[in-house]
Homo-oligomer: A and B are copies of this chain.
Amino acid sequence: MAILGLLKEQELHGYELKKRLAEMLGFASGVSFGSLYPALARLEAAGAVEAAASGARKGRARKVYRVTARGEELFEELLAAENASSDDDRTFNLRLAFARYLPPDARLGMLERRRAHLVERLIQARSRVKAVRDGYARSLVEHSREAAEHDLSWIERLIASERAAAAPPSLTDGPSLSTFRPYQEENT
């Protein structure tokens, strides 16, 4: 999905693609060549990308890839997928980076699913905070609870601004906004 998304914006060859992926995924990532080239080969075999005219170099010329119509379809599919694998952080971040390609409702759905996931995570983190008395593990669970709270409020801000952007014509139409309620703990 990352490859297709990047190629969608601009034709690129593998080496350049690797650099873009590294800065896009930021820390904790960057694919290796042994992962990237086979992936490109698979995508080409599947007809999702094609190599444009190779530069006028001798020997192993660099292959500039471009997304095909089939590739666009595949990208939409991957981006819109509501499967369970979209639950992990890495996948969500990647999806959000390409969220502009999603229709507004699908985008909102993605954010809400993420929010639900984070609420669960927060609940879990809180129960672990109660369970672990002290030591490094305690510090760890407290920090992960704070991180979860932080993530959650971030997502809620995103959702709010998304809704605001989705329904700008009228300033007094309650229904579309009334569905969303920020997470509030019941027992404090």
Contacts and interface: CB of A to CB of B under 8 A. Distances in A.
Interface of A: 23, 26-28, 88-89, 93, 96-100, 120-121, 124-125, 128, 135-137, 139-141, 143-144, 146-147, 150-151, 154, 158
Contacts of A147: 147, 150-151
Given A23-B128, A143-B154, A136 B96 contact: yes
How many copies make up the complex? Answer: 2
A161 to B, nearest CB: 9
A23 B125 CA distance: 10
A135 B45 CA distance: 33
12 contacts: A26-B121, A26-B124, A26-B125, A96-B139, A96-B140, A97-B137, A100-B136, A139-B158, A143-B154, A146-B154, A147-B147, A147-B150
Q: Which of A27, A96, A99, A146 has its CB near the most chain B CB atoms (within 10 A)?
A: A27
A114 to B, nearest CB: 12
Q: Which 8 A-B pairs rank lowest in CB-CB distance, beginning with the nearest?
A: A99-B136, A27-B121, A97-B137, A96-B136, A143-B154, A96-B140, A100-B135, A97-B140
